[in-house]
Amino acid sequence: MPEPLHDASLPVLVSIVAAFFGLLTMGNVVLGFVMERIVPKRKIFAVPLAHGQLGFELTGNLVFLAVAVVTFTAALSSGVIRFGEDSVLRSLATFAALLLGFQVFYYFLHRAMHTRPLLWMHRWHHRSQVTTALSAQSMSVFEALAWMLGYVGLPLAFSLVVPIGFWGYVAYMVFNVSGNIVGHANVELAGAASATRAATLFANPWVFHALHHARWTGHYGFQAALMDRLGGTEFGDWPALYQRVAAGKPLESLKVRGE
């Protein structure tokens, strides 16, 4: 970890962490809403938002940010995560390990939160059946705490094996948060080449996750179809629905099915 950050007082560290997550969130929320406006022909669902949706999503985001700031400040100030001397190799290895590790972690967490005993944790997030850029981090405090197991617990676990790269960790968090927020916008930005079965092992189109919110079950993975394909929870009709949206024909019902 950089010395200025390591030596920072608690108030300064809180301010840095809050600025990181706050600015990252605000910038990507604005980007998501802008994309919906400038690419209207790629709208996914032509269905009205729930009553008061933007309001409860904003509240959920504030909850998430509060939990993230407290958790990251505690982790960085305590030194529980072991950081090694930064190098390009260490940063790339850290990014790759977190990229794959979070995919696995989130898939099983998400599936668990859809079981009857844990659904109460996840219900707030699913109040958004048609998603917006504010939907991504709109969640209960309990779900936000569960996310921190991936955001902080996962790199902590990796660092017990080998020290991780600080800047690789930062880069992954930027990638994770940005992709999550913009990925909830109600617009399809993926081109045809990135909507093939092979390509979606690495990154899924926007329709993919939009269908999870509309249908409640299936498509539990994070930013890619890899874990859903392995777990048998991938919808077979998403390619047909992608083609429909990509052709400028938004889905007019949450219950729509592809051919």
**What tens digit of pLDDT does each residue of 38-89 get?**
999 999 999 999 999 999 999 999 999 999 999 999 999 999 999 999 899 9
Residue 235 — pLDDT band, cuts 50, 70, 90?
very high
CA atoms within 13 A on the CB side of 210: 33
Domain membership of residue 234 (yes or no) is no
Domain membership of residue 158 (yes or no) is yes
Domain membership of residue 248 (yes or no) is no
Tokens of 203: 């990154």
Rounded to two decimals, what is the model's pTM? 0.95
Domain membership of residue 198 (yes or no) is no
The full length of the chain comes to: 259
Number of domains the chain is built from = 1
Structural domain containing residue 21: 3-189
Mean pLDDT rounded to a whole number for the chain: 95
Domain membership of residue 45 (yes or no) is yes
Residue 219, phi-psi category: left (phi > 0), alpha (psi -120 to 50), beta (remainder): left
Domain membership of residue 236 (yes or no) is no
Domain membership of residue 249 (yes or no) is no
Q: What percent of the chain has pLDDT over 90?
A: 92
The secondary element (H helix, E strand) that includes residue 70 is helix 53-78
pLDDT of 7 over the 90 cut: no
Indicate the SS3 state at residue 43. strand
State the average pLDDT over residues 31-42.
96
Residue 258 — pLDDT band, cuts 50, 70, 90?
confident
Domain membership of residue 230 (yes or no) is no
